[in-house]
Amino acid sequence: MTTAKDLFVITLDPGPERAVGQGDLSLALAGAELIDLIDAGAIAVDGDHIVPGGSPTPDDRLLGEAATLLVRQSPYESVEDWLWRRGRDLSAAYQDALMEDGELTRKRTGRLSFGPERVEPVDTPARRRAVGRWEEKEPVLTALASAVGLDGPDSDEEPGLDDEAVTTVVAAVHDAVMELEAVRQRRTIENTAFANLWRGP
């Protein structure tokens, strides 16, 4: 599987006590796609801009879709702009794709058959490979998971990334997730103030 799919699977494994927000995850998935495209030679990062490369489109459907969406003329798109544009509802697209591939299943939680439904990874070779990357503290997967609030197994510090382009993407993901959280907090404050206004003194 791709890094994005591995990341999606990893975020489902920890359980509801460490649930990851869909907006945060979508931004991180968009970053994971960029990193896989860098590895495939499909793009390069110049400063903070994404420059298309000459390699063929990857076989993975969602990664191939990402490659077709790249801005291919100067001025090229910044990593930050890509995260926000590509990241819109991306977690839902990955969930659908993994469901179609048989990598995810829906299960009812609780003792009752009509309890809330939850999506869980199926025990497949792809899932085991994703978990293996996670348990081995593979630096890219661990760094992206950290951006959405998941700490690596027994890790006290973030792993070092030895590629400047990958480091740029991971840093942009962290910044975007923090920006999204700031927007959430601002909306909460505004909604509380509005509710208090209507409630009156």
- The whole-angstrom separation of Cα 140 and Cα 35 is 8
- Please state the pTM of the whole predicted model: 0.85
- The whole-angstrom separation of Cα 30 and Cα 45 is 15
Question: Distance of alpha carbon 2 from its chain centroid, rounded?
Answer: 12
Helix or strand or coil: residue 43? strand
- The whole-angstrom separation of Cα 75 and Cα 107 is 46
pLDDT at res. 16: 46
Q: Where are the alpha helices (DSSP H) in 15-138?
A: 22-39, 61-68, 79-86, 90-100, 125-135
pLDDT in tens, 70-92: 999 989 999 999 999 999 999 99
pLDDT in tens, 95-118: 999 999 999 998 766 555 555 577
Helix or strand or coil: residue 52? strand
Residue 105 CB neighbour total at 10 angstroms: 13
Lowest mean pLDDT among 17-21, 38-42, 63-67, 179-183: 17-21
Query: What is the pLDDT averaged over residues 159-185?
Result: 88
Residue 123 has pLDDT above 50, yes or no: yes
